[in-house]
Structure 1
Amino acid sequence: MQIKFLDLPAEYNILKPQIDSLISEIVSSGEFIGGKHLQAFEKNFSQFSQTKGCVGVGNGTDALEIAIKALALPEKSEIIVPSNTFFASVESILNAGHRAVLVDCDKDYLIDRQALENAITPNTAAIMPVHLYGRACDMTMVMAMAQKYSLKVIEDCSQAHGAKTLYKNELKSVGSIGDMGCFSFYPGKNLGAYGDGGAIVSNDNRLLEVAREIANHGIRNNTKYAHARIGRNSRLDSMQAGILNIKLARLYEVNASRQACAKMYGEALGGLENIILPKAGDLPANNVWHLYVVRLAKIWRGKRKMLVEYLAKNGVACGVHYPQDLGSLEAILQHPDCRVASNQNAKNFASEILSLPIGEHISREEVAYIAEKLHAFAGELAR
């Protein structure tokens, strides 16, 4: 049995006729930038994310950087970000001209409350919580901290399309609670394009207008050559917008499949004392399981390479997200605008975590097979 970490998405065959027709239509019309497909996706995705509006951009990293710039924070101010995330979270802060302050994660891999508060200084202007691996952060805590210290909030939702959290007694979509929410549509995401793509959502129409101007060469009101500010070229093209719009209609179904897969893993691996399984969250919608990340404990610590090789030999490809926490990276440690406030959990977890295959393409039989191989590995170690 061959089970890939990121296999061909199931919807590729299901939606292929619709997508082929869309591509043919766009090629015939020549409407490659802007137009009805982008407008339709922006409208539908803003409704999906429970926000007033959406701006499609070139990729998730651009979404973060443009959102930061739209907030017009004081020059060289500090933005707090978890040490356990992908490099783009910090990269966007630095490229927007600010200082990144890295803080530790809690046992569930999300930004730690005490570490966050301890890192706040008079120079802090914003918090960037990351909804990691598909699980929503505790936004009640984040927003309480932001209000206490008068900080802006940029939600990094790149791995959590459709995840929700309880806020003010309402179930709210990630991206709809902070000042701005940012998404990536990299092909491997729960909602993935057939190339790069990203989006910014917000309930503040002024911020959305500024973000749209920045993303389109500073052009105001979409009036050609009316450059009102220095912007950049970061637009979600019609082809990707159309494909995303088609796939968006199935996103709840895709997420439900991932949640079912995660539940199967929990049942199949619950008896393995050397693996710490991820938590679903307090509510079913808290986690849309972009990744299924386990942590190796006890006698399995230090044996990740051996386990990965063992699984690969048996047809199971795994990933590590991420092999090094950002607070330990040379590029971060040497950058004058980076400060590592705390990262001990993130540093420890980096050597222990392992991402098992998950997605709508993973069947019950495949989960059972993977679990069987993990139990077999445990047996071999115990000899």
Structure 2
Amino acid sequence: MPYRYPVSQPCLEGRELEYVTETVGGGWISSQGPRVREFERAFAEYNGVAHGVACSSGTAALTLALRALGVGPGDEVIVPEFTMIACAWAVTYTGATPVFVDCGDDLDIDVSRIEEKITPRTKVIMPVHIYGRRCAMPAIMDIAFNYNLRVVEDSAEAHGVRPVGDIACFSLFANKIITAGEGGICLTDDPRLAAQMAHLRGMAFSSEHNFLHKKLAYNFRMTAMQAAVALAQVERLDDILAARREIERRYDLGLKDIPGITLMPPRDVLWMYDVRAERRGELCAFLAAEGIETRVFFKPMSRQPGYYDPGWPSLKANRFSEDGLYLPTYTSLTAADQEYVTGRIRAFYDLPQ
């Protein structure tokens, strides 16, 4: 049975249908359609970056970024311990090895622990802006400069956070701040990296022959219909971010005095509103019965079967994973909706409504 208050839902209140209808009517529905180029230009311009390379998903974006930077077998990439597994998978897809670094109190990668994980094989640092909190990028960029490393920002959860690394990768999945249903995009100021990512996403066709392929590549292309939706979303991004800031403010006020709830540090942009909760499992079950969907925090990378470390120490990522959750967070969430959600949480902890 669908939740009355899902954890996420897209907000398609702009020109999405108009642009898709125009795209279908024009006949250019593949990745060759002009809408893809329009979306790439619009999103790059919004972020103050020279080049955008649209693709099929955020995971594809990370893979393209690493391949364009020459990451391959024998290399290592610094990856947060607390993140979505797509980050580690993208590294593994290239044949390289992810090296995990614990999180800080804000859930982002602990910059003070990065240097101890750098080896002669390290090639890239991959900071992830968790739930919309910008990582300590100045410090990360300093480390990268000192060790001659490249930086790939995973900005899947942070539309509106301006990129500073070599490449920034965004997801356009349906639960993200802006969406195309599925899709992703890479942003960079380096024209050579942009050209290489565009080449790799489209099966690396050669100019010498229609069907000559000189390197292993991918079909990671975005369709024109996806780009039409994404373009309409970019046009409203400032309004979307403003609405989400108000959602964050209302949750802060509604939850600040509940003894069983620990608020997390503020976010630069709001993707999901995250908290730590006593008796998390019971709370999630109670809220589900009340029509409110929740999601628990990421499971740390070193506890995933594909990256399991039997000697894994007790880390912050593990502690957060055990009691963290996030609440319904979507652009059209109203004040009345949030009052109901926070009221049900108060009821669970036997507090006045």
TM bucket normalised to smaller: over 0.9
Aligned with 1:374 (options 332, 345, 350): 345
Report the alpha carbon displacement of residue 341 of structure 1 after superposing the two structures with TM: 7.8
Structure 1 position 192 matched with structure 2 position 173: no
Identify if the C-alpha distance between structure 1 residues 221 and 60 changes in structure 2 by more than 3 Å, giving closer, same or farther: farther
Q: Secondary structure at the match of 1:5?
A: coil
* AA in 2 matched with 1:234: F
* AA in 2 matched with 1:347: N
Q: Counterpart in 2 of 1:4? A: 6
Identify if the C-alpha distance between structure 1 residues 342 and 97 changes in structure 2 by more than 3 Å, giving closer, same or farther: farther
What pairs with 1:267-282 in structure 2 (closer than 5 Å)?
A: 267-281=253-267
Say whether the 8 Å CA contact 2:58–2:171 is kept in structure 1: yes
Aligned with 1:306 (options 271, 276, 282): 282
Report the alpha carbon displacement of residue 100 of structure 1 after superposing the two structures with TM: 0.5
Identify if the C-alpha distance between structure 1 residues 223 and 374 changes in structure 2 by more than 3 Å, giving closer, same or farther: farther
What pairs with 1:251-330 in structure 2 (closer than 5 Å)?
A: 251-281=237-267, 287-296=268-277, 300=278, 303-322=279-298, 324-330=299-305
Identify if the C-alpha distance between structure 1 residues 95 and 347 changes in structure 2 by more than 3 Å, giving closer, same or farther: same
Say whether the 8 Å CA contact 2:72–2:95 is kept in structure 1: no
Structure 2: 5+ residue runs without aligned partners?
A: none
Report the alpha carbon displacement of residue 364 of structure 1 after superposing the two structures with TM: 1.0
- CA displacement 1:29-62 (0-9 Å, x = unmatched): 3212223111111111111121110011111111
Q: Give the RMSD, CA atoms, in angstroms.
A: 2.2
What is the distance in 1 between the residues matched to 2:209 and 2:170? 26
- CA displacement 1:355-378 (0-9 Å, x = unmatched): 011121211122122222222222
Say whether the 8 Å CA contact 2:274–2:326 is kept in structure 1: yes
- CA displacement 1:300-320 (0-9 Å, x = unmatched): 2xx111111111222221111
Say whether the 8 Å CA contact 2:85–2:301 is kept in structure 1: yes
- CA displacement 1:195-218 (0-9 Å, x = unmatched): x21111101111111111111111
Report the alpha carbon displacement of residue 343 of structure 1 after superposing the two structures with TM: 6.4
- CA displacement 1:230-286 (0-9 Å, x = unmatched): 3221111100011100111111111111111011111111112322212225xxxxx
Structure 1 position 182 matched with structure 2 position 179: no
Say whether the 8 Å CA contact 2:44–2:52 is kept in structure 1: yes
Report the alpha carbon displacement of residue 291 of structure 1 after superposing the two structures with TM: 0.7
Give the TM-score normalised by the residue count of structure 1: 0.86
Q: Counterpart in 2 of 1:42? A: 40
Say whether the 8 Å CA contact 1:56–1:197 is kept in structure 2: yes
Q: Secondary structure at the match of 2:350?
A: helix
What is the distance in 2 between the residues matched to 1:205 and 1:222? 22
Structure 1: 5+ residue runs without aligned partners?
A: 164-172, 282-286
Q: In percent, how many aligned pairs have the same letter?
A: 28
Identify if the C-alpha distance between structure 1 residues 193 and 342 changes in structure 2 by more than 3 Å, giving closer, same or farther: farther
Identify if the C-alpha distance between structure 1 residues 235 and 342 changes in structure 2 by more than 3 Å, giving closer, same or farther: farther
